[in-house]
Chain A
Amino acid sequence: MNKEGFLAVENTLFTVTMLLYFASMVLFFIFIAVHHSEKDSRDEGKSGRIAWYVLFAGFVLHTAALILRGIGAGRLPMTNQYEFATSFAWGLSLVSLIFIRKYRFDVLGAFAAPVIFLVIGYAAMQSKDVHELMPALRSNWLGFHVSTAIISYGSFGVSFAIALIFLLRGRLAAGSFLDAHIPSREKLDAISYRAVSLGLLFLTFCIITGSIWAERAWGSYWSWDPKETWSLITWLIYALYLHQRLRKGWKGRSAAIFAVIGFICVLFTYIGVNTLLPGIHSYA
């Protein structure tokens, strides 16, 4: 198969992935809608599990699509708006699958799947053309820098979904659904903390690898470029999140609000900076 062939299959797989992510989102919604209305907790969580498997199937095809894109383009698929957006959705999907499974927390899927679908929808709106890389992007550091950003953004996306659940939990009527499927506020706070921890660790990796790369490419590891500055802002917001959790009475609601603000910063760093504040990262 030639390069065009790989890219054509990638295009098909991408479309199927989008449909599966959409289906998983709908199934997670159905899971909540059906079981929330039940008076008792007879549900074994089967519909939630089906939604998880559909999300997982989407993730597997998404992975295949990215691999084929890499083969078709002859490089890592992480260098333009389309490629980063689809990789971002992949990272969100990966971290969501892990957190849902690890913490037996199907409701998280109902909040994470829409974010995944929105991000992959944004990817679908971008140009899928494959261009040769400019010399500055031809670096081994590209893979480290962008892949750490993907995991970081994915983790922050999941912490955002958990924070939304935390903030909405109080509005739900007490009952079997709440008890069976949504963790306590304390546990939600702890899971959100784990997601933020993962995101912050990888964001730090991302900033360091980016700085090393920038030093080799441009002779300056930090130039206050808008993307760099907003990555720092995001890092500082999550640093504030970690600090304020140590203060008495600041866990829970205020931490959840910080997680929401942090993810808004992530989105601005990714989309807002690229469109409103062009700089040396304008290709990303």
Chain B
Amino acid sequence: MEKLKKAGRFLSSMQFAMILLFILVAACVLGSLITQGKTYEWYAAAYSERTAGAILALHLDDVFHSLWFVLLTAFLCLNLLLCNIVRLPSILRQWRESGTPETILSAGSSVQAKMKDAPDAAFARMGFRRVKEGSAEGRRCLYSVKNKAGLFGAWVCHLGVLLLILGFGLGQVLKTEYAVFGVPGQTKEIGDTGYLLTIDDFRIDERSDGSVSQYTADLTVQNADGSRKLSGSASVNSPASMFGMKFYQNSTGWAAAVHVKKDGKALQDEVVCAGDFLAAADKPELVIYLNAFYPDYVLENGTPTTKSREVRNPAYLYSVYYRGQMIGMNALLGDEELTIDEYTVTFSDPETYTLIQIKRDPLTPLALIGGLVTLLGLILALYVQPGRMWAVQEEDGTWTVWGYSRKGGAIFAERFREVTKGEPERE
């Protein structure tokens, strides 16, 4: 039992918190300095084979999703929770007791002074507005406390961080995320949600210098049987919300119509986005992959590129795969044809497509609340500093004045001395 208590004390201690914070700092440094999500070969080429092995063994290739990082964060949550549970009774006791003359007069002080006159003005100048009067051992005394809410600062801050970590951590597990790309007029399924997304329109607003000022997609979402339909616009910095999901205008690119003929007869006409593929309708093992589209094609130092966004000299960079093996790669200019055995492929009607990112994270509000509670806690902890001041009238009529502020430190003490000496205001 004693061992259990000892373990509990350690888990709730500030010493443990500091150890965890140090490790967390080290983990974040490693996670930012080591490029994340690469292969053994990549790390071996960048560092050495031994280092690459160590990186993978310690999961330093994906620090922020590794089990040890999750455990570290879980221990931090445990520490915050236990610390708050252990500290709450003592904070409540301080809150209740800090207003009674007995506890104030028996408390330790950080500064003390003698005053000839009644110290009412000194109380006011130190920020103690509500001064109470009482008696101690037959002598008249004045006492006041201020900023009692500050006692809860660290506690509230810990609570905020705890909520923030829980909101973020659980959100990672519970959130669902999909991506749909297409051109205006296309309707696609949103993953396994049962909802259908139609891209009604997609606009790129340009300034006079040709730079893009905004991307906007007009969207309609309907449930599987089409009984409910909602519409909205998603632009950068302004997502659309429909059916509990958020729709983000993520990125854009080029798409083109792909026409496939077999022995001179039309077989397929479909719109394919750059980065997407089309399998032959009657021969799915034959795949055309549209690598990229260049609206104003030019070769610079052997590298294909575009001179502008205007469709002046269109070129389609494609690859052909047969049973998973790439059998060819080239660029088609304008109306040029690609012939593969009995198949003929042409591209036409290039247009911009939009990539819509769809997210549902029910715990984002919890993380936001956590962040705001952390902020409130910091304001209370750092700027609402509890203090107390009290004075006792001596038999000769003079006053002995005491002050205490744990966080005020030397600045509180200096101010107290100035005020009790009757020095003028300097600010």
Contacts and interface: CB of A to CB of B under 8 A. Distances in A.
A221 B175 CA distance: 13
A120 to B, nearest CB: 28
A282 interface: no
B64 A224 contact: yes
B409 A189 contact: yes
B359 A190 contact: no
B215 A135 contact: yes
Main secondary structure of the interface of A (DSSP, over half): helix
Contact of A240 (B18, B410, B411, B427): B18
A222 B164 CA distance: 11
Interface in B198-237: 207, 209, 211-215, 235-237
Contacts of B29: 233
A207 B408 CA distance: 27
A219 B359 contact: yes
A236 interface: yes
Interface centre among B177, B250, B364, B410 (most CB of A within 10 A): B410
Contacts of B409: 186-187, 189-190, 193
Nearest to B26: A233
A187 B411 CA distance: 6
Contacts, number: 120
B21 interface: yes
A164 to B, nearest CB: 18
B371 A208 contact: yes
A144 interface: no
A239 B359 contact: no
Query: Which of B374, B378, B426 has the most chain A CB within a 10 Å cutoff?
Result: B378
B122 interface: no
Contacts of B212: 134-135
Contact of A247 (B14, B379, B407): B14
> How many residues of A sit at the interface, in one of the four size bands?
35 or more
B219 to A, nearest CB: 14
B411 A132 contact: no
B33 interface: yes
Contacts of A104: 426
A211 interface: yes
Interface in A87-138: 102-104, 131-132, 134-136, 138
B168 interface: yes
Interface string A243-284: 110110000000000000000000000000100010000000
A136 B414 contact: no
Interface of B: 14, 17-18, 21-22, 24-25, 28-29, 31-33, 36, 64, 168, 177, 207, 209, 211-215, 235-239, 246, 248, 250, 357, 359, 364, 367-368, 371-372, 374-375, 378-379, 382-383, 407-411, 413-414, 426-427
23 contacts: A132-B209, A132-B211, A135-B235, A184-B410, A186-B410, A187-B410, A190-B409, A190-B410, A194-B411, A197-B383, A201-B375, A201-B383, A215-B364, A219-B357, A221-B368, A226-B32, A230-B32, A233-B25, A236-B25, A237-B25, A239-B21, A240-B18, A277-B33
